[in-house]
Chain A
């Protein structure tokens, strides 16, 4: 195909303008939302005013990060079918959320998933435990996003890394601090529409080069790079590695605090159910799009050019946009990528702030008694602190290979958050000590094993071989969390908790008493 000259790395006026328009519009929305963000219900949950469809879009927006858009398109461009295998892992967690989590969560909880875990149990120890699991997930995810944001902006425009991180951090603080959940929801929705719209346009323009026939696209790819690209490659070699990653992605999705938090923004369980259906549809569609985008880049841009800009292939989607739509389209997709980063880090920050204020400040420090305006004030201070922490971490980890932190965040979510949540909803015999033991086991093993794994022990600490053989710890940390939670609960029976189980069912299944 053509010899492709790219303007990547040079200042792109279209991109800067589109990005600032996005920031301006979303800040205007934040201003509008600020007047409606005075109470705790408004700050944490947009006063339950979000519809099922809107929440579905917002959930999709929260979940489709720039890392997955650029990273998966890049993986498909360089490796072909393996990219699809990876993206399927990210999607299949959503049915699990639908069947096991969405409705009981909305019925039992108020603002955070810790509300549900601690429902029948002693508040303080369980809240502390859940908060630790929550914050660990959020912080690792945040580091990966902030570092990704900085290096993306640097690669694209040569803009200084530090300035990019600080800019992203400040705008995200503004969204959350002033607009709370209402603003972040609308930022997510706008970003989701832009991302899905832009990606759809990209695929249509790409396919038009192949007579609108995807088969032709695949055949051209196979002709150019051998039919290996249409088959599974080296991604799934060791079945244990594949199982472990699959568990982390599938069950981790059902344990991500910023995702679970969104379920409290809708009026009732039925809308929660609808939002998962909508979200799953959009996210599935998104991964099908990234599959075509990756192949488009493979054929129209070439693997050599893609990897020359970034070894991981992260520029594939942008280069394809430039190839089929010129500098303007490149600018548009780049602006959408920044918007995506902004939206995701906002959701993470809001979730972290709610953990600090609703779970720790109100329920642990103040033992459940706090006035409305006091709690909102603490939530806003937490937002500011967490935002500053995110900026500092983004600057500290500059240049580090932090890709493994997303896998780690999912592993912690799958091991520390998910088991305790599920056992609390479904099992009468779950106790306070069991919950804490489960969370500590899950989080501890996830972090400990990943440090000993090839991802950290070899790639980062430069040892010759890893102590723990798998790249992702979930295969061990998740079942261990369930097992320890089960055993410790049996050893520390808590009649006050099991007695409440039957009555709780009225709320879990009928929604009576739901807030």
Chain B
């Protein structure tokens, strides 16, 4: 797989590549922050506002039970959301840019 230097320079400076990198970083950052906020929010709510998760929603069942299990599901679904975005949007643009670099 040989790539000549001018091609490299062209692609690195192209608008489409710069946009791709920006979008990728934006998606990664936002999803990371969401996960951080949700998890540390959960932890801090226990430290400072214990009554929230101890609140009874049945005779014995507490709010904490669905929230705790829900958090586990949420973490997984977040990875699923990223995977779907990457498979649909990101990969398509990557393929186009790779073709430009490698096949001309």
Contacts and interface: CB of A to CB of B under 8 A. Distances in A.
Nearest to A247: B40
A95 interface: yes
B82 A98 contact: yes
A239 B98 contact: no
Contact of A503 (B8, B39, B91, B97): B8
Nearest to A235: B46
- What is the interface of chain A mostly: helix, strand, loop, or mixed? helix
Interface residues of B, number: 56
Nearest to B55: A231
A511 B101 CA distance: 11
Contact of B75 (A92, A222, A505): A92
Nearest to B51: A231
Interface string A187-229: 0000000000000000000000000000100110011000100
Given A231-B53, A505-B21, A281 B76 contact: yes
Contacts of A242: 43-44, 46-47
A391 to B, nearest CB: 36
Contacts of A89: 39
A134 B13 CA distance: 36
A469 interface: no
Contacts of B71: 88, 92
Contacts of A238: 47
Interface residues of A, number: 52
Given A95-B75, A273-B86, A511 B98 contact: yes
A8 to B, nearest CB: 30
Nearest to A245: B43
A255 to B, nearest CB: 15
A407 to B, nearest CB: 16
Contacts of B54: 230-232
Given A92-B39, A95-B75, A510-B101, A232 B64 contact: yes
A106 to B, nearest CB: 13
A224 to B, nearest CB: 11
B28 A99 contact: yes
B87 interface: yes
A250 interface: yes
Contacts of B3: 512-513
Interface string B88-104: 00010010011001100
Contacts of B102: 512
A91 interface: yes
14 contacts: A81-B65, A95-B32, A95-B82, A99-B31, A215-B61, A230-B60, A231-B54, A232-B46, A239-B44, A270-B86, A277-B80, A505-B17, A510-B101, A513-B1
Interface of A: 81, 84-85, 88-89, 91-92, 94-96, 98-100, 103, 215, 218-219, 222-223, 227, 230-232, 236-239, 242-243, 246, 250, 270, 273-274, 276-277, 280-281, 284, 287-288, 291, 426, 502-503, 505-506, 509-513
Interface of B: 1, 3, 8, 11-12, 17, 20-21, 24-25, 27-29, 31-32, 35-36, 39-40, 42-44, 46-48, 50, 53-54, 56, 58-62, 64-65, 68-69, 71-73, 75-76, 78-80, 82-83, 86-87, 91, 94, 97-98, 101-102
Given A91-B72, A273-B82, A509-B94, 4 more contacts: A85-B46, A95-B75, A277-B80, A284-B72
